[in-house]
């Protein structure tokens, strides 16, 4: 930026000529200069190619115009709770280091038009919304000092984040839902798709955190990315849960039920034989002449089961069909 200061030094006034004198920049070392500095400066330097970029212009009434071409990096305290949809207020503080208000007074020459060219600035991440010029005094234990403030209200440009963060996270979240349309028995494809989307969301979140300072509060972009991560993770978790309920625990329970039924069918004849033996042994002393033997009773029981269509193992028996040639084609007899 071009930083220019102007003051009047009556010792340098001349009335012989009505011309302004532009002096060599080395003359600045022989003149009185204000001890102006940038309060919130982090790093600044004066350009020196091909010579030191400073100018001294002297007017007949003793007014001195002192100009510099400098580059400065100023600190700005930002509130990132709404990041990246945030607006910030940044200031450039200009103050006298040693002279108090009893010795020197600072003011913006030209009022609100003292700073020009701001509307032509193009910043990669911000747009300047408002510019304010403030003049005030600050008090310290050593006295009151003049201070000028150049305040910017800037708004962050959202275009970069739409392309680098929002669109990829939206597409990855939708991609995780594609697993719902994959065939249920293609578990390898489903799991691979779910794990890939989870890792991709983690990478996006990690990359974004690396570009920001370590702050203790949650940002708006953190809430958004965490929501996308939850959707992606739940899509993977849902498939695992459904696969376990319908294809894991269900078949196992059905297998156990079938084993119990087979075991019961296999043990049924043994229990029946045992029951008949107990009945025969209990009634043998009293009705040995009237009751049949155990073998006869068992054969009678099996014959009754065959009549009703059930064999000894509890299986249903289908009767046979007999085709008679003597009848019409439409008549069928069964036995």
- For residue 317, the tally of other CB atoms under 10 A from its CB is 12
130's tokens? 């408002």
Per-residue pLDDT tens, the chain, 335 aa: give them: 999 999 999 998 987 788 888 888 888 888 999 999 999 999 999 998 888 999 999 999 999 999 999 999 999 999 999 999 999 999 999 999 999 999 999 999 988 888 988 888 888 889 999 999 999 999 999 899 999 999 999 999 998 999 989 999 999 999 989 888 887 777 788 888 889 999 999 999 888 888 888 888 999 999 999 999 999 999 888 888 877 777 666 566 667 777 777 777 776 666 666 666 666 666 555 444 444 555 666 666 666 655 555 444 444 444 444 444 444 444 444 33
The pLDDT value recorded for residue 327 is 46
Residue 23's DSSP bridge partners are 56
Cis status, amide bond into 84, omega within 30 of 0: yes
**Whole-Å CA distances, 11 to 44, 79, 101, 116, 276:** 32, 49, 21, 31, 140
d(CA 172, CA 158): 20
Rg (CA), the chain: 49
pLDDT at 138: 92
Alpha-carbon torsion angle 263, 265, 268, 270, nearest 10: -60
**Looking at residue 261, what is its pLDDT?**
77
User: Under the phi-then-psi rule, with left for phi > 0, alpha for psi from -120 to 50, and beta for the rest, what region is 62?
Assistant: left
pLDDT for position 29: 86
Contact 69, 47 (CB under 8 A): yes
The pLDDT of residue 307 is: 55
Q: Pick from 66, 16, 20: which is nearest to 46 by CA?
A: 66
**Tokens 């945030």 sit on residue:** 86
Which domains are seen in the chain, by residue range? 1-75 (2.70.170.10), 77-157 (2.70.170.10), 160-254 (1.20.58.390)
pTM over 0.85: no
């Amino acid at each position: 930026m071009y930083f220019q200061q102007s003051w009047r030094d009556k010792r340098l006034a001349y009335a012989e000529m009505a011309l302004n004198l532009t002096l060599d920049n080395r003359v600045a070392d022989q003149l009185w200069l204000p001890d102006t500095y940038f309060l919130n400066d982090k790093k600044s330097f004066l350009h020196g190619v091909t010579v030191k970029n400073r100018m001294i212009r002297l007017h007949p009434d003793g007014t001195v115009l002192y100009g510099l071409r400098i580059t400065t990096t100023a600190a700005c305290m930002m509130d990132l709770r709404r990041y990246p949809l945030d607006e910030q207020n940044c200031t450039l503080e200009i103050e006298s280091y040693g002279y108090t208000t009893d010795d020197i007074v600072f003011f913006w020459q030209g009022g609100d038009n003292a700073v020009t060219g701001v509307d032509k600035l193009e910043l990669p991440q911000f747009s300047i919304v408002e510019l304010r010029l403030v003049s005030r005094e600050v008090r310290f234990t050593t006295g009151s000092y003049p201070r000028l403030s150049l305040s910017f209200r800037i708004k962050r440009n959202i275009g970069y984040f739409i392309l680098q963060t929002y669109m990829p996270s939206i597409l990855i979240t939708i991609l995780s839902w594609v697993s719902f349309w994959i065939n249920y028995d293609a578990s390898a494809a489903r799991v691979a798709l779910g794990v890939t989307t989870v890792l991709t969301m983690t990478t996006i979140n990690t990359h974004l955190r690396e570009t920001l300072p370590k702050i203790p509060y949650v940002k708006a972009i953190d809430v958004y990315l965490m929501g996308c991560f939850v959707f992606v993770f739940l899509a993977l978790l849902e498939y695992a849960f459904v696969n376990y309920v319908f294809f894991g625990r269900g078949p196992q329970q059905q297998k156990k039920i079938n084993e119990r039924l087979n075991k019961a069918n296999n043990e049924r004849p043994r229990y029946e034989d045992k029951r008949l033996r107990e009945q025969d042994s209990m009634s043998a002393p009293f009705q040995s002449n009237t009751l049949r033997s155990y073998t006869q009773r068992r054969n009678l029981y099996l014959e009754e089961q065959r009549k009703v269509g059930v064999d000894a193992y509890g299986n249903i028996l289908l009767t046979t069909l007999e085709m008679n040639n003597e009848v019409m084609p439409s008549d069928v007899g069964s036995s």
